Amino acid sequence: MSKNILRLAEIDRVIHEPGRLMIVALLAAVEEADFQYLRQTTGLTQGNLSTHLSKLEGAGYVQVEKTFRGKYPLTLCRLTERGKEALEGYKKVIKGAL
């Protein structure tokens, strides 16, 4: 079996989930986004998105900051350097396997 296919076994399972992959891919493409934007754009439910963000934050891939914009509360999310490296590694594994 090809070495690249075997590498699939090492794939980052934190990222390799459709909901979390969408979140990480989206955050990699922007500077920062808030919870409402992520929910609207990914189509995930509030509960699902919260769960995925908690997992990503726990893995150190996403930084979550609660702040305000005027009177409007924002939960800002950004991809950390660790998250960016994890995503690059994930892309290499997927590209190699496919």
Partner 1 sequence: MQELSSRLLVENPDEIAKRLLLKAHTRDGLPEMFVGLLFVLAAPLNWMSSNLDRSSMGFKGSFVAGYVGWLLLAVSIPWLIKWARRRFLVEQEGYVQLKSSKRMVIRILLVAAVVCMLLGAAALWLKPPGLDRWILAALGLFVCAVWSLIGQTLRFRVVGALNGATGILLAFNGLSIEISLAIFFGVSGLASLLSGLVVFIRFMRKPIRPGE
User: Does residue 74 bind partner 1 (CB under 8 A)?
Assistant: yes
In this chain, which of 37, 48, 63, 89 binds partner 1, going by CB under 8 A? 37
User: Does residue 54 bind partner 1 (CB under 8 A)?
Assistant: no
Instruction: Please give the radius of gyration of the chain, using alpha carbons only, rounded to the nearest integer.
Output: 15
In this chain, which of 7, 39, 55, 84 binds partner 1, going by CB under 8 A? 39
Pick the closest to residue 89 from 5, 3, 2, 15 (CA basis).
15
Q: What whole-number distance in Å separates Cα of residue 47 and Cα of residue 72?
A: 21
| Residues 39, 46 contacting (CB under 8 angstroms) | yes
Q: What whole-number distance in Å separates Cα of residue 7 and Cα of residue 80?
A: 24
User: Does residue 21 bind partner 1 (CB under 8 A)?
Assistant: yes
User: Does residue 52 bind partner 1 (CB under 8 A)?
Assistant: no
User: Does residue 80 bind partner 1 (CB under 8 A)?
Assistant: no
Half-sphere exposure of 93 (CA within 13 A, CB side): 16
* Residue closer to partner 1 (CB basis): 18 or 60: 18
- Where does this chain bind partner 1 (CB under 8 A)? 16, 18, 21-22, 24-26, 28-42, 46, 49-50, 69, 72-76, 87, 90-91, 94-95, 98
